[in-house]
Amino acid sequence: MGAQLRVYKRRIRSVTATKKITKAMEMISASRIVKAQRAVAASTPYADELTRAVTAVATRSNAKHPLTTENPNATRAAVLLITADRGLAGGYSTNAIKQSLAISAKLREEGKEVVTYIVGRKGVGYYGFRNLAVANSWTGFSDKPTYGDAKAVAADLIEAFTAETGGVDELHLVSTEFVSMLTQTAVDARLLPLKLDEVELSDKSPAKNEIFPLYDFEPSAEGVLDALLPRYVESRIYNALLQSAASEHAARRRAMKSATDNAGELIKSLTRLANSARQAEITQEISEIVGGANALADASAGSE
Amino acid sequence: MAELHVELVAADRKVWSGAATIVVARTASGDTGIMPGHTPVLSVLETGPVTIRTADQGTIVAAVHGGFISFADNKLSILAEIAELADEIDVARAERALDNARTEADAHAARRAEVRLIAAGGLKAHH
């Protein structure tokens, strides 16, 4: 076998191995999207009931709560960015990071200091490499978040928000919304202070449009609000984590599908090249034999 | 007999839903029983067992940690960060957790484990 042919054969083998890996990753992601979507669906009854309850308390009572009161001279804003722990998911993490940089720039223009919190190793890596300050980060659960994870993240943010001094006045959330298998969009939303007009149920209808019965609040409207608002923030963060996880799997599936397709194309063109290299070798061998035979024939004809 | 519709929902799943005649839950101001036709109420729950007397005379006990109940239009929603039905509770694990919590003097963890055991024991008492 000629040198050229051997090189092609080796490259075909290596691309075939890569293709097997990307194909496996594609299929794993495809099965995890379904699970992640199911987790999103399983968390909506809780989120919806909680949203209704929060809206009911906030509209029925005149309770002033630090989590719903807007600070007119806000100076510090926290941004929570949700990214992936692992790469090979196309533009998934990059899009979320870009969105967070854009919202940070906007907040700075409004004269606010931005405090960044990050979920996911990719975001931590991006900010770390550029020496950007990060207040706190969490990693290790981006592809399968639990309610406990959301609670841990929310606890830190609520503490920063309610701190007497050195706290933040606003809390923004940057995550990736799972629109469909093919579309995932990086979105930002202001979690706190809570704007009642923007509170939505899972089907995107504003919660405020519902008519609530005249509840008796126990122990009191303020007490209920005190207990509910942190739960509401946790549930919003939990939902964002789940949506982002579904988006991550969908993005990875798409990226791996195109990698598998490209590997297939590459194998096809390399096989063509290897075939023509083999044919060229055969042609050369034949012409060498024919040439040699002719030379022999000429030599023996001359001696007679 | 009048019935009310109950939804017991945890943060990550729907635990139970169905018709009931009375639901007893531990709120901040003590045990509250909700029967059909109760006035609309929204109250914060303590970590404690929730007992549901179902329309077909059965009893369901669940351990509920950190949540609230809202009742309106004969529909009762029990929301909790964590909710476990009595037959889902691993008694051995809860007992271990209780021992650990006692040695570490963690009152919250001890209370959680206790409630699990009460809920699981309550189920046995009815059988």
Q: Is B52 helix (H, G, I), strand (E, B) or coil?
A: strand
- Which domain CATH number covers A106? 3.40.1380.10
Residue-wise pLDDT tens digits, A18-66: 999 999 999 999 999 999 999 999 998 898 888 888 888 877 766 677 7
- Domain with A90 in it: 27-256
- Average pLDDT rounded to a whole number, residues A64-82: 83
With respect to residue A3, please indicate whether it lies within any of the assigned structural domains.
no
CATH topology of domain B4-86: ATP Synthase; domain 1 (2.60.15)
Name residues 61-100 of chain B within 8 A of A (Cβ).
Answer: 66-68, 70, 72-73, 77, 79, 81-82
| Partner B contacted by A158 (CB < 8 A) | no
User: What integer best gives the mean pLDDT of chain A?
Assistant: 89
The total number of residues shown for chain B amounts to 127
Q: Which residues pair with B24 in a beta bridge?
A: B33, B51
**Torsion sign over Cα A43, B94, B66, B64:** positive
User: Which ranges in chain B are annotated with CATH 2.60.15.10?
Assistant: 4-86
Written as one letter, the residue type at A103 is I
Written as one letter, the residue type at B98 is L
- pLDDT at res. B1: 65
Residue-wise pLDDT tens digits, B46-69: 888 899 999 888 888 888 888 889
Gyration radius of chain A's alpha carbons:
30
Contact A231 B81 (CB under 8 A): yes
- pLDDT at res. B122: 52
Contact A53 B42 (CB under 8 A): yes
Instruction: Report the run of H or E that residue A299 belongs to, with start and end.
Output: helix A221-303
- pLDDT at res. A262: 96
Residue A123 Cα to chain centre, angstroms? 10
Contact A218 B32 (CB under 8 A): yes
Cα-based angle A215, A216, A218 (whole degrees, multiple of 5): 130
Q: What is the dihedral of CA A209, A212, A218, A221, to 10 degrees?
A: 40
* Pairwise CA distance, residues B88 & B86, whole Å: 5
With respect to residue A294, please indicate whether it lies within any of the assigned structural domains.
no
With respect to residue A175, please indicate whether it lies within any of the assigned structural domains.
yes
| Partner B contacted by A292 (CB < 8 A) | no
Residue A199 to residues A53, A195, A202, A215, A222, Cα–Cα distance (Å)? 11, 7, 10, 20, 19
The total number of residues shown for chain A amounts to 304
Which of B72, B34, B29, B69 has its CA nearest to residue A214?
A: B72
Which of A145, A49, A303 has its CA nearest to residue B42?
A: A49
Which of B23, B29, B33 has its CA nearest to residue A227?
A: B29
* Pairwise CA distance, residues A33 & A181, whole Å: 8
